[in-house]
Amino acid sequence: MMKTGESSLFPLLYDYLKTYLPKQRNVSHNTILSYRKALEELLDYVKEREQIPLGSLSFEHLTADVIFSFLEHLELEKGCSISTRNAANLNKLKKVPFKKPDNTIMVDYMSMRAITAIIEQPDINTPKGLRDRFFIMLLYDTGARVQEVLNLKLGDLQLGQLPKVTLFGKGRKTRVVPLMEKTAQHLKKYLSVFHKDTAQNVDAPLFYSVIHGNKQRLSDRRIRYVLQKYGEQARRVCPEVPSNVYPHLLRHSRAMHLYQEGMDLTLVSQWLGHSQLETTQIYAHADTEHKRKAIEAATPQDNPLYSKLNSARYTVTDEETLKKLTGLK
């Protein structure tokens, strides 16, 4: 049985491929693919060399000798070019920070109390405050990627008895997401201020700023700045607000809340616009770990059951599934 929580290797790989490279380094999709392929080949090589299951690999197996042997294997046995060999260099992997002190695959997300505290920070008596609050509400409510919200046009909104919004995800895949009543109310207020003269223009961008008299779409950089600012303000009244509030954190939070409220994981996957269910499964693992920690905190150490608390952690018996969960596939 391969227990994904026994080594920090796989959670770190997930952070490296899914967070560090695309969000912190902002590298291209093709670059990530090359890194992913190199890492997968390395793990498969070490697995065969050590004759152990993939899930049993840990950092202890990735010694300097093993890495050098792997690079020689690429060049001499597989006939890879020098550039391909260099692409497999793992020095940058050492720079990736751990997101959690424990050794399990986790998801950063905020409590509903923290979300509410952030939403309440913008001053809705000002146009910018009204816009900022609605943007944050819409980002959380839909669980959308920040660029999906920034790209919205007026024609993508549908008001009425069942307000909803059409989002265009990766590969121009569309999905329709319903809006909560409060979000719909703020939408109407926002439209009355920012689109009173463009309500019939279906191609008008939903969110914009006015620079030198010209309307321009809001930028991703602007939204990140706004969220960080309101996050810092909210943390003064709600200690649960993390020190780094960024757009994708609201997406993670919405997904976790939907799952914790009982929504089927398949529906959560559709809500988020994931192309594969395996991508969404991390929320189930994180929720299970959260509950395990709560039980552990409530169980005295002298209780005979205390030593059994870690025995039921999520296990993976299929190596392809493990690779998908880690981000290698």
Tokens of 203: 């191609």
Q: What is the DSSP letter of 60?
A: G
Which listed residue (85, 283, 285, 323) is catalytic?
283
Strand, coil or helix: what is 234? Answer: helix
Tokens of 131: 């816009």
Which listed residue (100, 153, 235, 248) is catalytic?
248
SS3 content of the chain, % helix, strand, coil (to 5): 55, 10, 35
Phi-psi region of 209 (alpha: psi -120 to 50; beta: other; left: phi over 0): beta
CA 318 to the chain's CA centroid = 24
Which listed residue (85, 131, 251, 285) is catalytic?
251
Contacts of 42 (CB under 8 A, 6+ apart): 62, 67, 70, 88, 90
CA 279-155-276 angle, to 5 degrees, is 10
| Cα distances (angstroms) measured from residue 45 to each of 31, 52, 61, 66, 328 | 21, 11, 11, 9, 14
Catalytic residue check, 248: yes
Catalytic residue check, 283: yes
Beta-strand pair 208-211/174-178: unpaired
Cα separation of 175 and 204, whole Å? 20
Cα separation of 116 and 110, whole Å? 10
CA 140 to the chain's CA centroid = 13
Q: What is the dihedral of CA 260, 261, 266, 268, to 10 degrees?
A: -80
Which listed residue (3, 153, 217, 274) is catalytic?
274
Which listed residue (36, 85, 133, 145) is catalytic?
145
Cα separation of 145 and 168, whole Å? 10
Which listed residue (49, 78, 170, 329) is catalytic?
170
Catalytic residue check, 217: no
Beta-strand pair 214-217/208-211: antiparallel
Catalytic residue check, 170: yes
Residues involved in catalysis:
145, 170, 248, 251, 274, 283
